[in-house]
Chain A
Amino acid sequence: MTSQTITPELEALVERVLERKLDERFGELQSQLAAIERRMSSCERQATAERATLLVFSGEMDPLMAAFIIASASIAMGLEVTMYFTFWGLNALRKTWTFKGKTLPEKMIAALLPKSVGRLATSRLNMAGIGPAFFKKVMDDNNVEDLPSLIEVARDLGVRMVACEMTMGVMGIKREELVDWCDYGGAATYLEHAADSKLTLFI
């Protein structure tokens, strides 16, 4: 067969058919490739980032110290760490307190909650405030960092801290009462990290 027998119409037809067939094949391959790429990047993300997620519910000095010690040690051990503060745990992020613009129940809660992270009760042996003073003295004698410094260390190491907006709402805590470097989120924010974490703690 010589090129003279192939009419331009025939050639164009063959080209069109070929192109369509190729498109079909490659289109399928491309979408498969994209799916593989997506799965690989999700695997890589899970492999490179080993996570620890701490749900901090307690608001006394001693459980909070334990939470921040584990958070800092986790970073030192090569984990990515997120701490979620809910209910009494929000005490750890308190910067100031205000009655302004609050309803009566919210004002009552504000009056009853600790005013700063340096003035928290202990979970045992609080003895109307003697306990915390006693613990601070003993910790100082033993060169153990106090709670505000432990928070500073964790922050400096890159621990992500998230305040639960739902409990802030329930307790009438406003954003301006919390430190300005924390993030905000809800249960889904917590679970997104917790579900991918090797370590999850409820403190």
Chain B
Amino acid sequence: MTVELDCKGLNCPMPIVAISKAIRTMSQGEELRVEANDPAFKADVHAWTRRMGHTLVDFQQDGRLQRAVIRKS
């Protein structure tokens, strides 16, 4: 199952806060698809997945809009 999370318009630290809340409700192996336009999101989502041990399956950037796919470990 995939969970979608729209973080557009949210600024630091809210996207990471929202992701950490969302991932808590998911099961291992499920994927979280996040869209954000916070300029710090790229660095933060990489740091967050490294620290929390989840997998950043995909990261795409299109101008300010960024899409990340995180698989829960």
Of the 9-residue stretches B9-17, B27-35, B55-63, B65-73, which lies at the interface with chain A?
A: B9-17
| Contact among A72, A78, A144 for B17, CB-based, below 8 A | A72
The answer on a CB contact under 8 Å between A69 and B12 is yes
The answer on a CB contact under 8 Å between A153 and B51 is no
The answer on a CB contact under 8 Å between B13 and A73 is yes
> Which single residue of chain B is at the shortest CB-CB distance from A68?
B13
CA distance A77 to B48 in the complex (A): 6
Total A-B pairs, Cβ < 8 A = 36
The answer on a CB contact under 8 Å between A143 and B48 is no
In the complex, how many residues of chain A place their beta carbon closer than 8 angstroms to a beta carbon of chain B? 13
CA distance A144 to B14 in the complex (A): 9
CA distance A153 to B20 in the complex (A): 13
Contacts of B10 on A, CB cut-off 8 Å?
143
Is B1 an interface position by the 8 A CB rule? no
The answer on a CB contact under 8 Å between B9 and A76 is no
CA distance A143 to B12 in the complex (A): 9
Contacts of B48 on A, CB cut-off 8 Å?
76-77
CA distance A54 to B25 in the complex (A): 28
The answer on a CB contact under 8 Å between B52 and A142 is no
In the complex, how many residues of chain B place their beta carbon closer than 8 angstroms to a beta carbon of chain A? 14
The answer on a CB contact under 8 Å between B17 and A76 is yes
Residues from 114 to 138 in A contacting B, C-beta threshold 8 Å: none
Interface string of A143-172 (1 = CB under 8 A from B): 111000000010001000000000000000
| Contact among B9, B16, B52 for A73, CB-based, below 8 A | B16
Is B26 an interface position by the 8 A CB rule? no
> Which single residue of chain A is at the shortest CB-CB distance from B44?
A73
Can you offer 22 A-B residue contacts whose CB atoms are under 8 A?
A72-B17, A73-B13, A73-B16, A73-B17, A75-B17, A76-B13, A76-B16, A76-B19, A76-B20, A76-B48, A77-B16, A77-B47, A77-B48, A77-B51, A77-B52, A78-B20, A143-B9, A143-B10, A144-B12, A145-B11, A145-B14, A153-B14
The chain A residues found within 8 Å of chain B, CB to CB, are: 69, 72-73, 75-78, 142-145, 153, 157
